[in-house]
Amino acid sequence: MAERKSALKRAPERPELRRLLDRAKSIVLTEDQLQEQRASFVYGNAPYTSKITKESAIRAANRTRLSEDADQEK
């Protein structure tokens, strides 16, 4: 059996990745961008044998709305 490296070691420093992650934290998405991401998530995670199309995922993402009122009712 092949020897495996321990996964318990600390990950190496990656300054370029750290810079990109810090930059990403400050980006604010528009509602259109969020809907596009929702549709992409639905379509990309649908089983291969499903009948979900890119168009049906977009329609579903446009129908689904989250509001601040719903959060405040809890």
User: Which are the contacts of 35, defined by CB distance < 8 A and separation ≥ 6?
Assistant: 58, 61, 62
Report the amino acid identity of residue 26.
S
36 inside domain: yes
Q: Which residue range forms the structural domain that includes residue 48?
A: 29-64
14 inside domain: no
Which pLDDT does position 26 carry in this prediction? 95
Distances (CA, A) of 16 to 10, 11, 24, 44: 17, 14, 12, 28
The domain total for the chain is 1
1 inside domain: no
Is the pLDDT reported for residue 56 higher than 70? Answer: yes
Residue 49: which pLDDT band, with cuts at 50, 70 and 90?
very high
pLDDT tens for residues 9-48?
A: 888 899 999 999 999 999 999 988 988 998 999 899 999 8
